[in-house]
Each structure stands twice: as C-alpha cells, then as structure tokens.
Amino acid sequence: MTAKIIDGKAFAARLRERIAEEVARVKAAGVTPGLAVVLVGEDPASAVYVRNKGRQTVEVGMESVEHRLPADTPEADLLELIGRLNTDPAVHGILCQLPVPAHIDAAKVLEAIDVAKDVDGFHVSNVGMLYTGQKALVPCTPLGCLLMLRDQLGSLSGMEAVVIGRSNIVGKPMAQLLLGDSATVTVAHSRTRDLGAVVRRADIVVAAVGRPEMVPGDWIKPGATVIDVGINRVPGEAGKSRLVGDCHFESCAEVAGAITPVPGGVGPMTIACLLANTLTACCRANGLAEPEGLAV
C-alpha cells in the first residue's frame, strides 16, 4: 500500500480562505479581530515566526499588533504590557512568543494573559477547560492535527489513537482532543515499554517526539493515519541540512493509509490555527456566532 500524502500546506491555505470569509462576516457586524504578538529578545527563529504570523494575520483581514521588546526587558514591564493588552478591546488574541529570556518566568507570563485572549491555549484555565470538556482555546499545533484527522477520517469515534510524546504544547493536548472526539487514546513517552507494539495497535499515530525518523514503517498498522509533528534538522547532501520528521517517511508511507510529510504537513497548520483561535476568541468576546468546526 502507498499512503495518501496529506498536504498540510494546501489544507492550511484552504483554512485561511475560510477564516478570511468569516473575518469579513465579523467585520460586517462591526468588529475587526485583532491579534497582538509580543516578542522579547532577538532569537532569529522566533523573529521569522513572528513576521510570518503578522503577515498571515493581515492577509485574512485581521488587525496585527507587534510588540518587540529588548532582551533585557524587566519581567515587570512585560507583565505591565500584557495587562494593557488584556484590557484593550481591539485585541482579541495575545501571544507571547516563547522562549523568553532566562530572567523572565515564562509560566508567570502565560498566566498573566487573559484566559479569553489566550490564543496559544497555554493558560492553566484553558488547559483545565480542555481536560474537563468545556469550551476552551486549545494549543494551535494539536488543533491543526485534529482538523487534518477529521478531514481525513470523518468521525474518530472508537478509533485506537497513539500519541507519542507527552509535552504540554503537543502531546498532552493532542491526547485530550482525540479523547474529546471519542478515540481510544494511549499516550506513549520515553519510558514506554515496547513502543513498537504500542504503535502497531493504532489506527491513528501522532508522533511528537523530536527524534529524527525514529518511527519505522514496521511499527505502523496497515492503513493507519500517521500525523508527524516532529521537525528535525539533519545533515543532508553537499554539506546542506534538511528537515525530517519523527517518522521514517518512505517506510511509513509504504504501510500507512495516509501520512503528513515533513516539511509541508503539520507545520503550516500551526499559524492557520492561531488565526482560527483569534477569530474564535473575537466571536466569543463579542457574542457573535463562532465558525463551526474550528474550535472545541
């Protein structure tokens, strides 16, 4: 069997088109969704990411506000800025780009963001609401994975899902989202015994580990759907580097029913889901109907 390749780039582009239509509807009701992104310091990867977020925010018709602060910004000043954004009615989503410099307590910053504007879904109250099956803002990467799985499989009810990785930003929220869609969920991690046997049970595999190509094709149940979250840079040809996922793509694609590539799979969905969360937050804050199927 040769798997269908799930084109995350095309899926994300369609999602942004839909968001742009919904933004136009919300604007017609008199509100412009606004996203504020805060970047502290000069981390080059973060700067590129923030620039892309800003560009895509504007492209779907939303307001984008960027706050770039020097690396030595005192924690108190950052908290004061977040306090101002919390009370600004033009801002519906607030994101503080991680990592923050070492002198700033990231947990304190995340908890300072208004739960209703927490479009990264990292605030403990949003985490708790997701775990208790209430309306929440959920982390963008696992939300993107869920949307792709629903699109690929329709109902996930009763399916065996194995999530490899238990981080707060991917593995754990992913497991909760799958549970919310009535999959039977196993969360594997570095202490899991016989990981291959665990993965072989799965109709759905989500790999979020950060280890290049660690999942071989012979761990995959024939016909399973494989979502590869991993982004790993490895040495390539002619002294250049290349990106690979956590799954060995060629061998997994021989067995799986569908698989996301790296790059071009989960990656492009993350910013699209950030825009979806901002739109959802805006609709909820203004008592407007929220778009169907873009949030939990």
- Give residues in contact with ligand NDP (CB under 6 A): 141, 164-167, 169-171, 188-192, 195, 208-211, 229-232, 266-267, 270
- How far apart (Å, rounded) are the C-alpha atoms in residues 39 and 226? 33
Q: Is 176 a catalytic residue?
A: no
Considering the complex, state which of residue 73 and residue 141 has its C-beta at the smaller distance from ligand NDP: 141
Active site residue 117: no
Shortest Cβ 95–ligand NDP spacing (Å): 13
DSSP per-residue letters across 137-200: ---HHHHHHHHHHHHHHS--TT-EEEEE---TTTHHHHHHHHHHTT-EEEEE-TT-SSHHHHHH
**Annotated active-site residue in 53, 117, 172, 221:** 53
* Residue 57 and residue 17 in contact, taking contact as beta carbons nearer than 8 Å: no
Give bridge partners of residue 184 from the DSSP assignment.
160
- DSSP letter at 239 equals G
At its nearest, how many Å lie between ligand NDP and the CB of residue 38?
A: 19
According to DSSP, residue 288 is labeled P
In the bound state with ligand NDP, the residue whose beta carbon lies nearer, of 78 and 187, is 187
Of 97, 221, 228, 246, which residue is the catalytic one?
Answer: 97
Smallest distance, Å, CB 96 to ligand NDP? 16
Q: Looking at beta carbons, which residue is closest to ligand NDP?
A: 167
Question: d(Cα 189, Cα 192) in Å, to the nearest integer?
Answer: 5
| Side-chain half-sphere CA neighbours of 111 within 13 A | 7
Q: From the candidates 118, 120, 203, 246, give the one annotated as an active-site residue.
A: 120
Our CB check for ligand NDP shows the closer of 10 and 29 to be 10
Can 120 be counted among the known catalytic residues? yes
Distance in Å, CB of 140 to ligand NDP, minimum: 8
Q: Which residues are catalytic?
A: 53, 97, 120
